[in-house]
Every structure is written in structure tokens, then in C-alpha cells.
């Protein structure tokens, strides 16, 4: 289940925009022109290969697969502030999937968020990024999806409140927030930079998670990649800002994090980022990863959109008022728990014992006093699809109470981050 609950949606705004949409309906083009590939589109096996690459880079699988389900059969739940939406089946089954869709209908869905019968789709489907894809690339994705085994599966019925269950409400929103034309290469820049820009802004849709959202769930203009929030996790600032972004990371560190899921001195990736790396970025060619790094170096440098607490107030200060501070417990409950449950894999010094993936040194999660990601990693664990003993972190949700996990988190933040953790048992309860 993906949660968007914490996004404050301005009901009045959405309704107003919905009315605008209803008016716009009369001016909307109603017939659907045919979409044809350009002369440079590959054919045969080369087209399928290209489509497979694009489908991987766009990570269509992550959202169109329910836990334990078959790839692309849909059914993953998205918890929105006004109910639950389920991703559809995009295998080529003609009844429950997209087997009966024309090329034009598919291109319109992916780039404009419009369903087969003209209905408006919700932006949990990131067509605001995919709008930048070229027609050729969307057609190649369809050609690849058409080769998959059809799966018969109907996702559960959406459960959305009025007026949000009225899809036309989205129409005005789309007029305002969906780019009207595909990505245009910048001729003054290198081919690699343009490829990196296309990957970051369109295919890999980094901004859908790393850009803060406004009152209407739109990505905030002018704050691109400065940090977003997803399911309670913080998707950190990835602009070149030196203190709160990734300006101080070396190219090798960014490339290692994106392709392997960890970087020496920067810690491992968890949550949705771990999944995106596992299903998508780790499967991209090295040249793509280098192009992404080159592009990220050139985006506007911005301070974090989320709150960054002042650096190291030191352990002394942490003894002051926070009742969940490790120092408030005789013998240090947090320390005791860390010793018993964590040190065997992570080491006292955070070097990760025998696994470089378990090295915590420099991890953003253990340096963030809110502990947003840390608490979630402790509760839910972290692993890739292979999940070997050295690559997985178990879940501790059942093992410890909210107070224990709060004390443990604050200990980890002070021990590895040198900061005063602010995690309360209430925060842990919310993250469960």
C-alpha cells in the first residue's frame, strides 16, 4: 500500500479546479487521432528490447504489482487522503488488462492521464512525468507489454469519497499541472546530459518522490528535487546544495548508491528507493547512471524543502529534556537494544561487520533527528528481491514496543549522527 495521507489536500481548491475542468470539457478535443511511430523507431526484436529497457527505466512494475502478485497484473493499493485507489492490470489480457487498447489510447493514457473510455486518471499514476516521453518511446513500451503473458485479474474496486470519485474533478488539475509537450533536448548540452535529463525528469520520474508537493498535490514549481515525502518517508534533497543536498557526494558515491543501493560513507537505501533501485536503476547500463549523475550536478541548487535540524548539538544537550533520550534510561535502554539486536550486523562503529550494505556510517537516516526513515526501517526491515542473509535487514515491528523503538532510534541518532533524536513513541505508532 502506498500512502499519500499526509499530503494536505485543499478541498475547496480541488472543487474549484474541478469546475474549471467541467467547463474545459466542452473545449477538449473529443476524437482521438492515430499515433504513428517515426521513421527512426526500431522494429522486430530491437523494438521489444527497447521497450523492455524503457519499461524498466520507468519502473512500471513497481506500481502495477501487488505484494506477492504477478508482475504488471495490478492491484497495488494507493492510500490517498480521500480513499483508496488500486492500480490496474496492464498485462495484455483483453478482459481485465489492456489487451484491447489501441496505440493511440495507450499513448494518451501514459502521457495525458486519460483512460480507454476518455475518463480522467488520478496522478498517483505519474503521467505528469511521463508526459515528457516521446511517442516512439511510449509505443515501444506498449510493444514490450504486448509480449508479456496475459494475466486474468481484476483489481479491487476503488474506494474514494465524493467528490473525488468523480473523475472529471481531475480535468482542471491536469490542465494546470501536466506538461503539454514531450521533452525537448537542449542542443547546447551534450548527448549524455540530455539522456540524464530525460531519465531523471521523464522516465525514472525522480521528482515524483523527491519534489515537495503543494496543497493540490502538484509538484511545487521552482523546488524541483529539493526533497519530498512519500508514505511517511523523507525522499531527501538531491539537488547540488552542499549542506542539505548531495553536493558533497562524489560522482562515484552517487553512482554506487543508484546502481547498488549503498555507497561507502553514505549508507544503504531503504523504502521506496530500495525498491526503485532493485527493480529499475540497478538494471540500467552504467552509462545511464553516469548520465543521471552528470545531470543532477547541473540542476538548480536548493536548500531542503523539509526541516533540517541544526547539526550536532552533541550528546550533552540530548540529556536535557527529551524523555526518550537514551541518557534518560538507567543503563541506556536504547544502547542495550542496539547491542542485543543490531550490533551483530551493523557493528558498534556502524562499519557493517561483514556486509558493506549494512554500513551505517554517513547514512542520512541516522543523521536526521526526526528519525522518519530510521523508524520505518526498524519497523519494516529492508531488502531487495533476492533477500540474502547479508543483504537483508529484518523487521522489528513485532519484537519491540513503541517506546522501545523510540529509545532505540534516539540512541542510534545520537551514536551515529551525533545529534539529539526527537523520536517519540507516538511517531513510532504512526509509522506502524
Interface with ligand HEC in residues 291-330 (CB under 6 A) = 292, 296
Using the rule CB under 6 A, is 397 a contact of ligand HEC? no
| Residues from 254 through 273 that contact ligand HEC (CB under 6 A) | 254, 257-258, 261-262, 266-273
Question: Within its chain, how far is the Cα of 370 from the centroid?
Answer: 19
Site residues for ligand HEC, 3-32, by CB under 6 A, read none
- In the list 195, 305, 363, 424, the residue contacting ligand HEC (rule: CB under 6 A) is 363
Phi, psi of 383 (to 5 degrees): -160, 165
**Minimum distance between the CB of residue 60 and ligand HEC, rounded to whole angstroms?**
3
143 scored as a contact of ligand HEC (CB under 6 A): no
Strands 262-263 and 233-235: unpaired
Strands 2-3 and 228-230: unpaired
Single residue of 200, 413, 423, 431 touching ligand HEC by CB under 6 A: 200
Least distance in Å: CB of 349 to ligand HEC? 14
| Sole residue written with cell 549522527 | 417
- Binding residues for ligand HEC, rule CB under 6 A, total 80
* Partners of residue 3 on adjacent β-strands: 79
Q: 320 or 401: whose CB is closer to ligand HEC?
A: 401
**Position 410 contacts ligand HEC (CB under 6 A):** no
Cβ of residue 52: shortest distance to ligand HEC, in angstroms? Answer: 12
**In the complex with ligand HEC, which residue's Cβ is closer, 13 or 272?**
272
Tell me if 153 contacts ligand HEC by CB under 6 A: no
Q: Considering only 19-27, 180-188, 317-325, 391-399, which stretch makes contact with ligand HEC by CB under 6 A? A: 391-399
Smallest gap from residue 317 Cβ to ligand HEC (A): 22
| 209 near ligand HEC (CB under 6 A) | yes
∠ CA 261-377-242, nearest 5°, is 55
Near ligand HEC in 25-64, by CB under 6 A: 58-60, 62-64
Which span sits near ligand HEC by CB under 6 A: 187-195, 302-310, 325-333, 339-347?
339-347
Taking CB under 6 A as the rule, which mask of x and - marks residues 369-388 in contact with ligand HEC? ----xx--xx---xx-----
Which of 194, 391, 395, 403 lies at the binding interface for ligand HEC (CB under 6 A)?
Answer: 391
Instruction: Pick the closest to residue 119 from 81, 63, 158 (CA basis).
Output: 158
Task: Choose, by CB under 6 A, the member of 233, 256, 299, 404 that binds ligand HEC.
Answer: 233
Does 345 interact with ligand HEC (rule: CB under 6 A)? Answer: yes
Of 119 and 429, the one with the shorter C-beta distance to ligand HEC is: 119
Give the range of 172-180, 203-211, 215-223, 420-428 binding ligand HEC by CB under 6 A: 203-211
Q: Which span (24-32, 39-47, 184-192, 362-370) binds ligand HEC, by CB under 6 A? A: 362-370
Site for ligand HEC in 82-121 (CB under 6 A): 85, 87-88, 90, 98, 106, 109-110, 115-116, 121
Closest to ligand HEC by CB, 254 vs 423, is 254
Q: Which one of 412, 413, 423, 428 is in contact with ligand HEC (CB under 6 A)?
A: 412
Task: Report the site for ligand HEC in 274-293 (rule: CB under 6 A).
Answer: 274, 276, 292
3-state DSSP of the chain? CEECCCCCCCHHHHHHHHHHHHHHHCCCCCCCCCCCCCCCCCCHHHHHHHHHHHHHHCCHHHHCECCCCCCCCECCEEEECCEEEECCCCCCCCCCCCCCCCHHHHHHHHHHCECCCCCECCCCCCHHHHCCCCHHHHHHHHHHHCCCCCCCCCCCCCEECCCCCCCCHHHHHHHHHCCCCCCCCCCCCCHHHHHHHHHHHHHCCCHHHHCCECCCCCECCCCCCCCEEECCEEECCCCCCCCCCCCCCCHHHHHHHHHHCEECCCEECCHHHHHHHHHCHHHCCHHHHHHHHHHHCCCCCCCCCCCCCCCCCHHHHHCCCCCCCHHHCCCCHHHHHHHHHCHHHHCCCCCCCCCHHHCCCCCHHHHCCCCHHHHHHHHHCECCCCCCCCCCECCCCCCCCHHHHHHHHHHHHHHHHCCCCCCCHHHHHHHC
Amino acid at each position: 500500500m502506498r500512502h499519500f495521507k499526509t499530503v494536505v489536500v485543499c478541498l475547496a481548491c480541488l472543487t474549484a479546479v474541478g469546475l474549471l475542468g467541467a467547463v474545459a470539457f466542452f473545449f477538449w478535443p473529443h476524437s482521438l487521432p492515430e499515433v504513428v511511430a517515426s521513421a527512426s523507431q526500431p522494429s522486430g526484436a530491437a523494438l521489444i528490447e527497447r521497450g523492455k529497457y524503457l519499461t524498466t527505466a520507468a519502473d512500471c512494475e513497481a506500481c502495477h504489482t501487488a505484494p506477492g502478485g504477478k508482475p504488471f497484473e495490478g492491484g497495488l493499493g494507493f492510500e490517498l487522503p480521500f480513499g483508496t485507489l488500486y492500480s490496474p492490470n496492464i498485462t495484455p489480457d483483453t478482459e481485465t488488462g489492456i489487451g484491447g487498447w489501441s496505440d493511440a489510447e495507450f499513448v494518451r493514457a501514459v502521457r495525458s492521464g486519460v483512460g480507454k473510455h476518455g475518463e480522467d486518471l488520478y496522478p498517483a499514476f505519474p503521467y505528469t512525468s511521463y508526459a515528457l516521453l516521446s511517442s516512439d518511446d511510449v509505443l515501444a513500451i506498449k510493444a514490450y507489454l504486448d509480449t508479456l503473458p496475459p494475466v486474468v485479474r481484476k483489481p479491487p474496486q476503488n474506494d474514494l469519497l465524493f467528490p473525488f470519485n468523480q473523475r472529471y474533478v481531475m480535468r482542471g488539475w491536469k490542465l494546470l499541472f501536466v506538461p503539454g509537450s514531450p521533452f525537448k533536448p537542449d542542443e547546447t548540452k551534450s548527448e549524455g546530459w540530455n539522456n540524464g535529463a530525460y531519465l531523471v525528469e521523464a522516465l525514472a520520474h525522480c521528482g515524483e518522490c523527491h519534489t515537495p508537493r503543494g496543497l493540490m498535490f502538484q509538484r511545487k514549481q521552482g523546488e524541483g528535487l529539493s526533497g519530498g515525502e512519500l508514505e511517511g518517508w523523507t525522499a531527501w534533497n538531491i539537488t547540488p546544495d552542499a549542506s542539505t543536498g548531495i553536493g558533497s557526494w562524489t560522482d562515484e558515491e552517487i553512482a554506487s548508491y543508484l546502481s547498488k543501493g549503498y555507497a561507502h560513507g553514505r549508507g544503504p537505501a531503504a523504502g521506496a528507493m530500495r525498491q526503485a533501485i532493485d527493480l529499475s536503476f540497478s538494471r540500467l547500463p552504467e552509462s545511464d547512471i553516469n548520465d543521471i549523475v552528470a545531470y543532477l550536478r547541473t540542476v538548480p541548487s536548493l536548500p531542503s524543502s523539509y526541516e533540517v535540524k541544526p547539526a550536532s548539538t552533541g550528546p550533552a544537550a540530548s540529556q536535557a529534556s527529551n524523555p526518550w533520550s537514551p541518557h534518560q534510561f538507567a543503563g541506556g535502554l536504547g544502547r542495550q537494544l542496539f547491542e542485543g539486536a543490531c550490533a551483530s550486523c551493523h557493528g558498534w562503529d556502524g562499519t557493517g561487520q561483514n556486509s558493506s550494505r549494512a554500513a551505517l556510517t554517513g547514512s542520512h537516516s541516522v543523521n536526521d533527528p526526526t528519525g522518519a526513515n530510521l523508524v520505518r526501517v526498524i519497523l519494516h526491515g529492508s531488502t531487495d528481491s533476492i533477500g540474502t542473509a547479508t543483504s537483508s535487514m529484518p523487521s522489528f515491528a513485532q519484537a519491540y514496543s513503541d517506546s522501545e523503538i523510540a529509545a532505540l532510534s534516539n540512541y542510534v541518532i545520537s551514536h551515529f549522527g551525533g545529534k539529539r533524536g526527537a523520536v517519540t513513541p507516538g511517531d513510532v505508532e504512526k509509522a506502524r
